[in-house]
Structure 1
Amino acid sequence: MSILSGSEILFKSETNVYLDRKYYADLTSQLEVSTRSSTVYVGNLIFDPEPTPEDLIHAHFSMAGPVDEIIMGINRNTKMPCGFCFVVYEDITSAREAVTMLNGTRLWKVDGSGHGIIRVELDPGFKSGRQFGRGSSGAQVRSDRLNNSSQKRRRDPEPPRDGSDHYGPPMTEKKKEKEEKGGGEEGGEKKEEESGDTKMETANADADADGDGDGDGDANPAKRRRVDDGAE
């Protein structure tokens, strides 16, 4: 859903807007109130290791119109800034100008270094208590989701890269063929050794065909005697 004001798109997508269920029953009613508000929500402010200075925020948003007040968002538990704020303008026109002009921009420090790219959207209006983060960590719900997603990616191992059921570097095709045939390199050496032993045993058997253990290989004693008699 997009809410239009002239040619301006004030909300690009419902999924990018946080529904404040404490004050509004549904997103549609919240968005309708927001279009009549002079307040904008600012997200993705740097807060670690040092929070974005309030005077820097004031100077940046004054480019869209006169700023009446800035309310810094703080961690509910630590009472420290946690990455968002509300900028209250003196009129509705300035708030709308801030959305179209400053959303997706970067805050710059005096020394020329830049902060993160900020998110600016119309807000239905500040109410006491909204300055506190509502996430489980005390910060914003959005921040908790991002942290949980990052931790999950670190915990889950990467899937096997070669389509097999083991983790680690892929095997070469040659090594994979050896393993499939059974034995791999070690098995090949063992088979070669066994083959050598078999050849040696066959040679010994031929050399000692008569079975007397002297290695003369004569398996026919009668024939040997006839040859000996002839020699005499």
Structure 2
Amino acid sequence: MNETKAGHATRRRLGTRRRWGGRIGLITTIAIVLSGLLVPAPAHAGDIVPCPATITQWRRLGFGGRPPVTTWEGYRFTTLSVAPQFFVSDGRTLDNTTDLSVSYTVSSSVSQTYSVSATVGITANPSPYLSANVSSTIVASRTTSIGVSLTTTVPPRTRLIAEYGVEGYNVSYAVEAWRVRKAGSATPVTGDRCEEWGWYPQNTNAPTYIEGWRLRTA
């Protein structure tokens, strides 16, 4: 009888361990998945190679020690996709319900600011890269004007939509980060030893300095 009770108790303990073991495994799996969603995974983190010549920006992270050593972080950018966009800040509907052409004059009354978005995960400025590699018309930020007028003729029995805004692009790109510790305060150069730090995919709306009215049929 005692042996039977002891056997039941042992099986209960084993069953409890299995259940908790399964729950801990599930919790660990969920934590790993969430971690992968929240933190960009480095492409080859830890690789130490000569600093690539294609690094276009350097940021000083720290300086100190004896002898003094500077820690730098460098960035190089890769364009993944580009799509032209028109960012609308104001709009009007022009309805002509008559059998004759009608002249309309409209003006913009709403101002909006469009900016290249901040880089997620690291501190880097993509605007110079986008201007050099996507379009020379791209600017870091653009605020649309107020009071710009448009006069147009709407044909009979026609509805037009007049929109005021800024031409731009939707750009998907990636930032690759590298770090280097270097004696003194001189900026790193090609050939210094860099550690690959991570790969950070990004997406941004990039405005240009070109703004104005656009007409389209409703």
Higher relative contact order (CA 8 A, sep 6+): 2
Instruction: Give the TM-score of the pair, scaled to structure 1.
Output: 0.18
Q: Which has the higher helix share?
A: 1
Instruction: Give the TM-score of the pair, scaled to structure 2.
Output: 0.18
Name the larger-Rg structure: 1
